Structure 1
């Protein structure tokens, strides 16, 4: 049930619990909550979002992801840094809580038809487990370059449900279902010290943010049952992305994709796209046979010109200066870059958080 007014939102978590308000409960908001909670700030956090893990909506991107760690992310310094931090986090999680977190180490092959990002590949080769370049004579026709390594595959909807439970039960994070009319409305409680904006696609239209650089990137995927598939395979083409991602914690479910349709916000699925995906994936991964199609899904990746925005700013609410942190625009890399992005976003308000940590220590004395 939706909260009906800001007063109910501001009092639901209690005075301490809304010192930090995270707006949005996709993987980006959940990773921010996790980074904060690992600092001992769980009881100070309230996550407020229209959709929570367990929901499905075209406007709630995270449940629809493939998802894995791959070379699909950008080549800029930020993307490379966030990927390194994300891989370390996901690898540790796979080792310590893999089954519970629906995350698994998986053999992976990636191919590039052209535009090979050599500098980026060199950077990721320094930390990817079992990294190897594939000899040119072993590459499929039309492929210019390939690598193999150990990736992390995740069951996206189950992984965010795991984070939701862990944040609530282990760390005492509060969650409230509510849609804010403006970003300023997130400061309804006088005890709120900082708001972290993790609104994804909504950052384009949310009053008080309205970032014109944001745009959706539509994807369609096909969920199949193909128990023979044990490895992750991706092929980066000139105008397509093809991928085969086995889904942890299932009875042989595999995600097939896909599309990267910039600026398209159509949430329908199309049979001709399903046929194209299946055809491309069969060429890439013969061990798909035999398979059964379970369903097709479409989702809107929260993309942004120039890459993700991680920035602290001061805004004025009711005549008072307030701290606002933006963390959105990850596109299709939220799961692999999200933890690194969260570390950076949280770092921008370390001064505010140190005050809360001191207050927490005093309250325990």
Structure 2
């Protein structure tokens, strides 16, 4: 007889941003039965103003410090995965040369950790630097066409057998109750974790990002200029459809979702200074759209950990948190999802082991009691 298959353990992922969808894909592929619950999905992003992922740039560039080993692990795994996916049709991913410039040359330069694995990494000679910059590096990276990639990610999840449920959640414990009550929930609510009852993490705060999208299919490389202030954070990210993203801003605790015209003008001016080819001579810049998003930043960094909760009826349930990725959601997505999956595996294995130990102890107790009567 064929061995009877064990039923899949149901897991609910709350949130359909890049962190939530990537985590859902990895868990589903691991053998869990995953349902993604969210108010907004890639097909209806405007229903939730704090649904940040659709407003992202985005490309891979790790800002993990040389002593941030968790961040390095997440970002390296994500880079290797995205690099492989560049050959998959429909992902919206493409390999592109990347350039980074600094306004001042560092007194002591230490190559970033990713210099050991990213293709074609090198320090730039002075003649390769734009006006006003004193130091630079280059390498090959991955650019992400977000309007293509997010729907593709959702399609992959559904293809693997995952399910979705579009609804509001007024308290995290709702997901552990009712007809489809889960025993495992993964909290990927991003900025929503700040106010979601049952989580309400006051360490989460918004970092406002504003971008300008232009049509410039001749620009096929990324450029980033870093100054001494976060506000002096300029970047240019091409997409595979000819759209180029110009950014940006890094405004902590700014909740405004309205595009500011003066900020847009400033962004364009800064981008033209480091990439004048954006605007070929005799032509005007073709502006397509203005976008604003609130990066879900967190004091102390990303929260990625397990929390066992005991409900009013005494039932113990597993809640795994994965939020507070700031502006690094895309570039850390697969590494972060892999860690969540390891946490779920480990916590459930420990729960099963504890249950077996308790059952064996009870059986042994009953046996001793029986022998005493003989």
Instruction: Name the residue aligned to 2:310.
Output: 316
Alignment pair present for 1:91 and 2:83: yes
1:213 and 2:203 matched? yes
Match of 2:342 among 334, 344, 347: 347
Q: Which residue of structure 1 lines up, in the alignment, with residue 246 of structure 2?
A: 256
Distance (whole Å) between structure 1 residues aligned to residue 109 and residue 299 of structure 2: 22
Q: Distance in 2 between matches of 1:111 and 1:312?
A: 39
Matches within 5 A, 1:1-365: 19-41=10-32, 44-57=33-46, 58-73=49-64, 76-95=68-87, 97=88, 99-113=89-103, 118-119=109-110, 121-168=111-158, 170-189=159-178, 192-239=182-229, 240-248=232-240, 250=241, 252-290=242-280, 291-318=285-312, 319-351=314-346
In structure 2, distance between residues paired with 1:55 and 1:30? 15
Q: Secondary structure at the match of 1:348?
A: helix
Unaligned runs of 5+ in 2: 1-6, 351-374
Comparing both structures, which one devotes a greater share of its residues to helix?
Answer: 1
Q: Which runs of 5+ in 1 are unaligned?
A: 1-15, 356-365
Instruction: Go from structure 1 to structure 2 and tell me whether the alpha carbon gap of 1:259 and 1:125 turns closer, same or farther (over 3 Å shift).
Output: same
Of stretches 318-327 and 107-116 in structure 1, the one that deviates more from structure 2 is: 107-116
Rounded Cα–Cα distance in structure 1 between residues aligned with 2:151 and 2:120: 30
Return the alpha-carbon distance in structure 1 between the equivalents of residues 293 and 50 of structure 2. 8
Alignment partners' CA distance in 2, 1:112 and 1:322: 48
Partner SS, residue 324 of structure 1: strand
Partner in structure 2 of residue 5 of structure 1: none
How far residue 163 of structure 1 moved from its aligned partner, in angstroms, is 0.8
Report the secondary structure of 1:80's partner residue. Answer: helix
Give the secondary structure class of the aligned counterpart of 1:332: coil
Contact 1:195–1:323 (Cα < 8 Å) also in 2: yes
Deviation at 1:115, TM superposition (A): 8.9
1:187–1:118 Cα change, 3 Å = farther
Deviates more, 1:183-192 or 1:303-312: 183-192
1:332–1:148 Cα change, 3 Å: same
Instruction: Tell whether the 8 Å contact from 2:20 to 2:188 is kept in structure 1 after alignment.
Output: yes
Distance in 2 between the 1:145 and 1:93 partners? 32
SS of alignment partner, residue 35 of structure 1: helix
Q: TM-score, normalised by structure 1?
A: 0.86
How many angstroms does 1:39 deviate by? Answer: 1.8
Q: Measure, in 1, the Cα distance between the counterparts of 2:109 and 2:332.
A: 19
User: Do the aligned residues in 2 keep the contact of 1:17 with 1:46 (CA within 8 Å)?
Assistant: no
1:18–1:191 contact (8 Å) kept in structure 2: no
